[in-house]
Amino acid sequence: MSTTVEIDPKQVKDLRDKTGAGMMDCKAALVEAKGDAAEAEKILRKKGIATANKKASRSANEGCIASYIHHGSKLGVLVEVNCETDFVARNDGFREFVKDIAQQIAAANPTYVRREDVPASIVAAETEIYKDQVKDKPPQAVEKIVAGKLEKFYSTVCLIEQPFVKNPEVVIKDHITAKIAQLGENIVIRRFVRWQLGEDIGTTQPAA
């Protein structure tokens, strides 16, 4: 005889706050996990990834461009994030997500959106540096060490592979997946620019 697990509403709210999934999805995951919050989070992530993969090929031509100016007005960001419909583009949850991404760019200073955007010449140059750093190691170890260093490089310079500054246990691509599952539409971070006051200004200023 099966027994029904009683789920505390606070558990549901806590799981929703952590994952961004809908209340009913959170409750269902907690029931399936027999009240185990960590297991419920895994269930939601698996479902979210499946949902995101199904929607990833769908066209995303709506969305918004958002700006973020850091305190003191010495750092600014513009970012374009796309979704499928104007309805979702105007959704508070989507707008909050875009704001989070703008703040992420300000705080973590990525150079590219995704690893596919990194020029092959830069990847090759980084690879050579890493190989030179471990040239005294056994050949079978060099390959693994270089691969690990490249992954670290991507997680530093590529926006969607960076740890989310508001929750470092989650990387940005997983944050996107959770938001796709929540809003039911494909979401794409298209492009961004980041300006910091004084960068690229030479030591010699032009005469007035």
Q: Are 93 and 149 found together in one domain?
A: no
Q: Structural domain of residue 13, as residue ranges?
A: 9-55
Secondary structure (H, E, C), the chain: CCCCCCCCHHHHHHHHHHHCCCHHHHHHHHHHCCCCHHHHHHHHHHHHHHHHHHHCCCCCCEEEEEEEECCCCCEEEEEEEEECCHHHHCCHHHHHHHHHHHHHHHHHCCCECCHHHCCHHHHHHHHHHHHHHCCCCCHHHHHHHHHHHHHHHHHHHEHHHCEECCEEEEEHHHHHHHHHHHHCCCCEEEEEEEEECCCCCCCCCCCC
Q: Are 88 and 189 found together in one domain?
A: yes
Q: Are 172 and 79 found together in one domain?
A: yes
CB burial of residue 204 (10 Å; 0-12, 13-18, 19+): exposed
Show which of 55, 73, 93 is a domain's final residue: 55
pLDDT, residue 15, reads 83
Question: Which residues lie across from 64 on neighbouring strands?
Answer: 81
Q: Are 176 and 77 found together in one domain?
A: yes
Q: What is the CATH number of the domain that holds 50?
A: 1.10.8.10
CA atoms of 181 and 70, how far apart (whole Å): 30
pLDDT, residue 12, reads 87
Contact present, 116 and 138 (Cβ < 8 Å): no
pLDDT, residue 106, reads 97
Q: Are 75 and 174 found together in one domain?
A: yes
Task: Note down pLDDT in tens along the chain; length 208 residues.
Answer: 445 678 888 888 888 777 666 677 788 889 988 888 889 888 877 776 656 666 666 778 899 999 999 988 999 999 999 999 999 999 999 999 999 999 999 999 999 999 999 999 999 999 999 999 988 888 888 889 999 999 999 999 999 999 999 999 889 998 998 888 888 889 999 999 999 998 876 544 444 3
Does residue 201 fall inside a structural domain? Answer: no
Q: Are 140 and 47 found together in one domain?
A: no
Q: Are 166 and 100 found together in one domain?
A: yes
Q: What is the CATH number of the domain that holds 88?
A: 3.30.479.20
The pTM of the whole model exceeds 0.75? no
Does residue 50 fall inside a structural domain? Answer: yes
Does residue 150 fall inside a structural domain? Answer: yes
Q: Are 49 and 19 found together in one domain?
A: yes
Does residue 206 fall inside a structural domain? Answer: no
pLDDT, residue 83, reads 94
Q: Are 124 and 108 found together in one domain?
A: no
Q: What total of structural domains would you count in the chain?
A: 3
Q: Are 71 and 104 found together in one domain?
A: yes
pLDDT, residue 60, reads 82
Does residue 3 fall inside a structural domain? Answer: no
Q: Are 101 and 176 found together in one domain?
A: yes
CA atoms of 94 and 188, how far apart (whole Å): 12
Does residue 4 fall inside a structural domain? Answer: no
Q: Are 35 and 107 found together in one domain?
A: no
